[in-house]
Amino acid sequence: MDGTTAAPLGVGMVGYAFMGAAHSQAWRTAPRFFDLPLHPEMRVLGGRDAVAVKAAADRLGWRDTASSWQELMARDDVDLVDICTPGRTHAEIAVAALEAGKHVLCEKPLANTIEEAEAMVAAAEAAAARGVRSMVGYTYRRVPAVQLARQLVADGRIGSVRHVRVQYLQDWLADPEAPLSWRLDKQQAGSGALGDIGSHAVDLAQFITGERLTGVSGLMETFVHERPVAAEFAGLHGSAAGPDAARGPVTVDDAAVFLARLSGGGLGVFEATRFATGRKNAIRLEVNGDRGSLSFDFEDMNVLHFHDATEDAAVAGFRRIVVTEPQHAYVGHWWPAGHGLGYEHAFTHQVVDLVGAIAAGQDPSPSFAEGLAVQRVLDAVERSAADGSRWVALG
């Protein structure tokens, strides 16, 4: 303990792989750098493999373990459930937690289907009436440069939005011999690049502009249709892993591209792929308005580029803003100006905002309803791609 006098907030987490590790670091770090109104305590980590979950708990800093998510619901010392599992389990766990009176943080995308997401929103709205809060983890919102971009748009610095371009580019599947994982199975993940990283692109566009996508026309493609079965995935295909392991089908998209219209009348172009060789985690966003533009690339995450079109054309141009000043969102709690933040800091900021909202009795953002709005866009893109890229309107 760090000597805080804040009331405790008992946290239980389900899942302990990539996202579980990132969330764990955030829960450990937030109360040590930020003055929180509640003190998060990492009380229990849930997972099906007792040996593996115990090892993860020891490594990540959790006090106790549970062999199922149902155990977390029955524990009086768990006030909040953090869901870091594949998409197919989100709805069941989240609804059960909310009905048990526990706050929920759920990783994105919210669910695998519209119906699941709608059930989660209904449960969240019913729980909110009892003071129980819920949030979906679109973590890139918490990057200080993204916060500044949103503020510039909200302040009218770029005027009316005319164009939005968002690319989310990765290359970790470009090798056709890269093994299967749950992310390549539609039953587990819901969709591939579209849901995994395209959901971030949609959320960022809507968050920064303050507008909604009102219609889409999309294409989706699977470039590699079968892959070697990885050890942790073998049971799902009834196959053994190893040098002579069977190959299993890829049942999700490798890449998705789509056009969109924004609620303010602007146009959007979106791209999500895990086949962009040489790009590791490039989230590239540009917004053009009638008074200016801004652009951001997560591979240079402490920088925002801003152009003020009202300036004298002889000297106007994109300016490079290093977003590390104390007045920038969250930054004053970290290092001196010029000392950049990293990927993990956004997860800490997510915890800070969630804990603050719970203590204040407010609904945090992005809410489950906002997660459902993204889910509707993803569903529309899938339907459009399946029907020859026809235009699909969003209500």
pLDDT in tens, 176-204: 999 999 999 999 999 999 999 999 999 99
How far is 263 from 260, CA to CA, in rounded Å?
10
The 10s digit of each residue's pLDDT in 258-317 is 999 999 999 999 999 999 999 999 999 999 999 999 999 999 999 999 999 999 999 999
Give residue for tokens 């591209």.
Answer: 257
| Cα–Cα–Cα angle for 332, 201, 47, rounded to 5 degrees | 80
Among 110, 383, 385, 88, CA closest to 256? 385
The 10s digit of each residue's pLDDT in 142-184 is 999 999 999 999 999 999 999 999 999 999 999 999 999 999 9
For residue 376, CA distances in Å to 88, 125, 215, 373 come to 17, 18, 10, 5
Q: Which two tokens stand for residue 13?
A: 């987490």
Residues 195 and 210 grouped into a single domain: yes
Q: Please tell me the total count of domains within the chain.
A: 2
Residue 333 belongs to some domain of the structure: yes
The pLDDT score that the predictor gives to residue 63 is 98
Residues 105 and 159 grouped into a single domain: no
Indicate the pLDDT class of residue 241, thresholds 50, 70 and 90: very low
Among 23, 107, 99, CA closest to 61? 23
Residues 202 and 273 grouped into a single domain: yes
Residue 393 has pLDDT above 90, yes or no: yes
Indicate the pLDDT class of residue 1, thresholds 50, 70 and 90: very low
**99 or 245: which leads in pLDDT:** 99
Residues 300 and 229 grouped into a single domain: yes
CATH at 79: 3.40.50.720
**β-pairing, 392-393 with 213-221?**
antiparallel
How far is 216 from 65, CA to CA, in rounded Å?
44
Indicate the pLDDT class of residue 323, thresholds 50, 70 and 90: very high
Residue 243 belongs to some domain of the structure: yes
How far is 110 from 370, CA to CA, in rounded Å?
9
Give 267's contacts (C-beta < 8 A, 6+ positions apart). Answer: 162, 163, 164, 259, 260, 261
Residue 64 has pLDDT above 90, yes or no: yes
Among 139, 173, 196, the domain boundary falls at 139
Residues 236 and 376 grouped into a single domain: yes
Query: What is the mean pLDDT of the segment spanning 344-358?
Result: 98
What Rg, from alpha-carbon coordinates, does the chain have? 21
Residues 287 and 207 grouped into a single domain: yes
Among 139, 163, 192, the domain boundary falls at 139
CATH at 210: 3.30.360.10
Q: Domain of 181?
A: 144-340+368-386
Residues 94 and 161 grouped into a single domain: no
Query: Residue by residue, what is the 3-state secondary structure of the chain?
Result: CCCCCCEEEEEEEECCCHHHHHHHHHHHHHHHHCCCCEEEEEEEEECCCHHHHHHHHHHHCCCEEECCHHHHHHCCCCCEEEECCCHHHHHHHHHHHHHCCCEEEEECCCCCCHHHHHHHHHHHHHHHCCCCCEEEECHHHHCHHHHHHHHHHHCCCCCCEEEEEEEEECCCCCCCCCCCCHHHCHHHHCCCHHHHHHHHHHHHHHHHHCCCEEEEEEEEECCCCEEECCHHHHHHHCCCCCCCCCEEECCCCCEEEEEEEECCCCEEEEEEECCCCCCCCEEEEEEEECCEEEEEEHHHCCEEEEEECCCCCCCCCCEEEECCCCCCCCHHHCCCCCCCCCHHHHHHHHHHHHHHHHHHCCCCCCCHHHHHHHHHHHHHHHHHHHCCCCCEECC
Residue 243 has pLDDT above 60, yes or no: no
Indicate the pLDDT class of residue 234, thresholds 50, 70 and 90: low
β-sheet bridge partners, residue 27: none
Residue 363 belongs to some domain of the structure: no
Residues 158 and 298 grouped into a single domain: yes
Among 118, 139, 160, the domain boundary falls at 139
Residue 1 belongs to some domain of the structure: no
Give 263's contacts (C-beta < 8 A, 6+ positions apart). Answer: 211, 212, 213, 214
How far is 323 from 114, CA to CA, in rounded Å?
37
Residue 2 belongs to some domain of the structure: no
| Under 8 Å between Cβ of 157 and 387 | no
Q: Above pLDDT 70, what percent of the chain?
A: 95
Please measure the distance between the N-terminal and C-terminal CA atoms of the chain and give it in whole angstroms. Answer: 49
The 10s digit of each residue's pLDDT in 16-45 is 999 999 999 999 999 999 999 999 999 999
Give residue for tokens 């768990």.
Answer: 78
How far is 18 from 44, CA to CA, in rounded Å?
17
Among 378, 176, 384, CA closest to 275? 176
Mean of all residue pLDDT scores within the chain: 95
Indicate the pLDDT class of residue 245, thresholds 50, 70 and 90: low
The 10s digit of each residue's pLDDT in 369-378 is 999 999 999 9
The pLDDT score that the predictor gives to residue 5 is 83
Residues 271 and 376 grouped into a single domain: yes
Residues 149 and 200 grouped into a single domain: yes
Among 87, 118, 81, 84, CA closest to 99? 81
β-sheet bridge partners, residue 65: 45
